Structure 1
Amino acid sequence: MEEPIVSTQEGQLIGSIKSAFNDESFFSFQGIPYAKPPLGELRFKAPLPPDQWDGIRDATREGDECYAKNLVSIYTGSENCLCLNVFTKEICSRSLRPVMLWIHGGGFTSGSSRSEIYDPSFLMTEDIVLVTLNYRIGPLGFLHLQDSSLGVPGNAGLKDIVMALQWVRRNISQFSGDPNNVTIFGESAGGAAVHLLMLSPMARGLFHKAIAQSGCATNHWATCRSDGVRHLAEALGIYTNDDRVLLKHLQEMSVEELIGGMERVPDPFLVGKFRPFGPIIEKKSTYEPGFLTENPVDIIKSGNFNQVPFITGCVEKEGMFVYSLCTTGKKNTLLVDESLVPNSLNLRIGSEQYNKAVDKIKKFYFSGNEDPSNDLDSILKVYGHNFFLYEIYKTAQHHLESSNTPIYFYLFAVDTELNFMKSVLGVEGEGVCHADDIAYLFKNMLTPEELEPNGPEVIGIHRMVKMWTNFAKYSNPTPNNNDPLIPVTWQPINKSCFNVLRIGTDDLQLLNKHPDVEGMDFWDEMYQKYALSSKL
């Protein structure tokens, strides 16, 4: 096969040839700019369309990721990071394939689409076109100022993803992708971004299905505080109340100095605290359209959002990830009140009501245990519920009330040699950790070179890839299923039955209620009792 050349509206690209998990060949195009480099005066601002180029652009290597610390705490990348990758079996074909666009996680402060984590060879066993992308993170993607005339209202990183979707609409048919059949999917912050795109008028019509893995718009860690920029300015030694002056300073300094300042701003991963940089509800402005200008819950309840078929769910023990964060570093924050009581309960820390809420939570999860720090199973359960599951569970319920499209809910519990997050985080115990599901959709640098053909790893890969790509093709993860490895029909939730597909190591089970429904009912009671106006 010859190296492929494709013509886009911006210019020609030359790609490379790679092998999928089943040894079939596919074409790879990497480092494609989907927006103008957000440098200088464009720093922190909404992306602009990409420039055109002459000649044939080399698309055989990955582009830069957004400048940040990587998994081993080394700074990598650059600001010139607005690029995407396209993987396809054919180019310029009249037969167009479903498109799947992946949004990486990382808490909106780290992560990228690099192939060390997101190698496409598993998904490219199916007839789809896969797109992965980098977007701005940290203050580069989520700094916001109060002066709306300055064009920095926040959510630039999410607007980057919208720009990438616009690129897909213009160009993906050249890669044999169908611009009228686009599925967005992502995990953790990527899952929250998927959900936010469903709620944003800016993304209307740019995608047609959505899969949000372990994240939603209303998760507490996906909400930032309004004073993050002031803390950043203080860390950088900038003292001014004038947003225009502040912006000038922040745009003129090096990216290394800027991100170094961010490292000195506290970023608590606690349900009772707000983070400094992440998605925010923008002030309505006459200067430019907003990505999100209303409370996500109000948007869902109104029904005025991008109503598309939707898959959402969690892994079995999301709390392992939170536990690892609360037991590392200089200070052990395990079971502090701010890691138990969500800020959306609207309780003043230290008040009588707040203390009663703490007692109720501890009583429910630890049954009066005088030393709950030794009860690891209960710790993982409370963290999994109030950091991830409850908001995702309620999101599905609220979408059911206002949406006419199918909503599928899952619990991922596949535990094999592919699961890598526990070893990365240094967490012991049985169960599937946050982000372990990624390893069954994407090959990564820790994937064993040889996998037993009929082993649990390969079966898990087959099931996830098949159901996710079926959904992209048919809006149904198990259509007319005759696959012996997927012997169930996954039913969407409905008003009389909250169907949950438990994706286990040995089997698939369709449950008629969530296994942790008692915990969900407990949090319902907490919100009914304490919240003045809960998020969900």
Structure 2
Amino acid sequence: MKFPNKFPIDEIISWYSRMVDFKVQQRRYRTSEKIIVSTTYGPIKGVKRKTIYGDSYYSFEGIPFAKPPLGDLRYKAPLPPDSWTEVRSCTSVGPKPLQKHFVFQMTEATRDLYSPDYLLREEVVVVSITYRVGPFGFLSLQDRDIEVPGNAGLKDQVMALRWIKANCSRFGGDSENITLFGDSAGAASVHYMMLTEQTRNLFHKAICMSGCALSPWAVTPQRNWPYRLAKAAGYTGDDNELAVFEFLNQAKGADIVKANEDLCTDEEKRERIGFSFGPVIEPYLTQHCVVPKPPTEMMRTAWGNTIPMIIGGVSNEGLLLYTETKNNPKLLNELGDCRYVVPLELNLDRDSELCQQYGYQLKTTYYVLSRLEYASSAPTYLYRFDFDSKHFNHLRIISCGKKVRGTCHGDDLSYIFYNSVARKLKKHTKEYKCIERLVGMWTQFAASSNPNYEKDQNELWLPVTMASLEKNQLKCLNIADDLKIIEVPDMDKLLI
């Protein structure tokens, strides 16, 4: 975990102490009661746990839905796991994919950082998916014979969804009522799962929090990343894909992670290319292909246009870059310059006025507009998370320090999952009330396709419509100390 440069040392120690306490706490909430469930690949053993509020649930962790991505499978599409007959223990955290340790790891879906205590106050089955990230999940090569077109991480997600569809009823779930949700890169993944034919009918509703497949960072441009990665890891040969692949396949995983850390040039960073290895438009078709063409084209005929969706973000997304902009004030001008959110495939001159105009409009409106255009028969609910807590907006505190206020990218996750730096909240606090509301709305939507939370919601949250957008009256649910329906801020600036 990274903290701002001048973050007080006593605060850093306090946060790390909380993380240690969290791990100890998770062990303490584990009981001795076990349970065995038969799955499509073999029997597994889980364990009964308690939440911080005393609710009981059965936990299964590290369930294999694919073969381990080792050896020749390191960068390739996943294969189904081998079946087993002996009971397999799934009572503790399974292995996680190799990755760089930095602030976005806060969104990692393992018990090391997150626990489903808040969600399990409701009658739901919660499943988190582990998938390959970085070069291991998104290495893409043009040579068909190598069989690494890219998006192995997305293909892991497809494989996991197939497992969930086939097995969730064995854990008390409903295979005909599955909701997929994610935050940031997870939200882009959810959207990709809505676009690809690989997942047709595997889930029935979607929630995208602070991201989607149309986000400028959700498609990685081709910049000869494999060769550059190999060179950074010690490769001295020619720019030959087969030779590069063989080198990367034999290299130590830790060396690959290290080599990938500083692969983007300063110019690429100015273009807001944040990841050297992320989702790509696959160079050729295979039976596993997830992204055969740009997401903007996939949306027109996507099967996901038929399912209900919640989409939104937080009120101060940019606080995540607070320290970076404070240390480099010139970056503020670049962040305000919206040219870099225009999709690269449009081939527009970055310096043109048209590019600047499109960029500003694309930031918000067109992500919703595209959904309304192609999914007019399915409800789309728009929200804005604007809850400001002095001590519980954890990503803001980590990114900006304690003196800055607002709602940072990722802060909403602290109100859905109990995490490693959180404290148990008193039930009379406004933070606990926000958790109740957010979890209530999300689980109500999962159950019925209607997110209205009858417990204390005074205004009806209605789906957005094309008519409201055309009248410059696009409204959203603003989630703050209270729930209110408001017009999307600065809407007049976002329309042509």
Structure 1 position 336, deviation (Å): 5.2
1:45-444 to 2 correspondence within 5 Å? 45-71=76-102, 112-226=108-222, 227-238=224-235, 239-266=237-264, 270-273=270-273, 275-285=275-285, 287-302=286-301, 305-327=304-326, 334-335=331-332, 337=334, 340=337, 341-342=339-340, 343-344=342-343, 346-348=347-349, 353=352, 390-403=362-375, 404-416=377-389, 417-427=391-401, 428-444=403-419
- Of stretches 233-242 and 118-127 in structure 1, the one that deviates more from structure 2 is 233-242
Find the aligned partners of 1:230 and 1:325 in 2 and give their Cα distance: 29
Structure 1 position 188, deviation (Å): 0.3
Find the aligned partners of 1:270 and 1:509 in 2 and give their Cα distance: 37
Structure 1 position 38, deviation (Å): 0.4
Find the aligned partners of 2:275 and 2:493 in 1 and give their Cα distance: 25
Structure 1 position 180, deviation (Å): 1.2
Q: Is the 8 A contact 2:194 2:302 kept in 1?
A: no
**Change beyond 3 A, Cα 1:288–1:23:** same
TM-score, L = length of structure 1: 0.78
Q: Is the 8 A contact 1:301 1:399 kept in 2?
A: no
Question: Which residue in 2 is equivalent to 1:454?
Answer: 428
Find the aligned partners of 1:519 and 1:144 in 2 and give their Cα distance: 38
Q: Is the 8 A contact 1:270 1:339 kept in 2?
A: no
For residue 432 of structure 1, give the secondary structure of its aligned residue in structure 2: coil
Find the aligned partners of 1:289 and 1:221 in 2 and give their Cα distance: 23
Find the aligned partners of 2:101 and 2:78 in 1 and give their Cα distance: 24
Amino acid at match of 1:410: Y
Question: Which residue in 1 is equivalent to 2:492?
Answer: 518
Find the aligned partners of 1:475 and 1:326 in 2 and give their Cα distance: 40
For residue 298 of structure 2, give the secondary structure of its aligned residue in structure 1: helix
Find the aligned partners of 2:306 and 2:167 in 1 and give their Cα distance: 24
Find the aligned partners of 2:166 and 2:257 in 1 and give their Cα distance: 34
Q: Is the 8 A contact 1:282 1:290 kept in 2?
A: yes
Task: Say how many residue pairs are matched.
Answer: 449
**Change beyond 3 A, Cα 1:323–1:346:** farther
Find the aligned partners of 2:278 and 2:331 in 1 and give their Cα distance: 24
Amino acid at match of 1:288: Q
For residue 177 of structure 2, give the secondary structure of its aligned residue in structure 1: strand
Q: Is the 8 A contact 2:196 2:302 kept in 1?
A: no
Structure 1 position 154, deviation (Å): 0.8
Question: Which residue in 1 is equivalent to 2:4?
Answer: none
Residues 233-285 of structure 1, C-alpha deviations (whole Å, 9 max, x = no match): 22124332332222111111110121121123127555554742101111232
Find the aligned partners of 1:135 and 1:225 in 2 and give their Cα distance: 21
For residue 178 of structure 1, give the secondary structure of its aligned residue in structure 2: coil
Structure 1 position 303, deviation (Å): 5.2
More helix by share: 2
TM-score, L = length of structure 2: 0.84
Find the aligned partners of 1:405 and 1:324 in 2 and give their Cα distance: 40
Residues 285-314 of structure 1, C-alpha deviations (whole Å, 9 max, x = no match): 2x4331011111122234554521000001
Amino acid at match of 2:188: A
**Change beyond 3 A, Cα 1:332–1:515:** closer
Find the aligned partners of 1:148 and 1:135 in 2 and give their Cα distance: 23
Q: Is the 8 A contact 1:21 1:125 kept in 2?
A: no
Of residues 440, 465, 474, the one that matches 1:494 is 465
Residues 143-171 of structure 1, C-alpha deviations (whole Å, 9 max, x = no match): 10011232111111011011110111121
**Change beyond 3 A, Cα 1:20–1:335:** same
Residues 186-212 of structure 1, C-alpha deviations (whole Å, 9 max, x = no match): 000001111111111111111100000
Unaligned runs of 5+ in 1: 73-104, 362-384, 526-536
Unaligned runs of 5+ in 2: 1-31, 469-473
Find the aligned partners of 1:258 and 1:303 in 2 and give their Cα distance: 35
For residue 418 of structure 2, give the secondary structure of its aligned residue in structure 1: coil
Find the aligned partners of 1:447 and 1:472 in 2 and give their Cα distance: 25
- Of stretches 121-130 and 145-154 in structure 1, the one that deviates more from structure 2 is 145-154
Find the aligned partners of 2:347 and 2:332 in 1 and give their Cα distance: 19
Structure 1 position 23, deviation (Å): 1.7
Structure 1 position 499, deviation (Å): 2.6
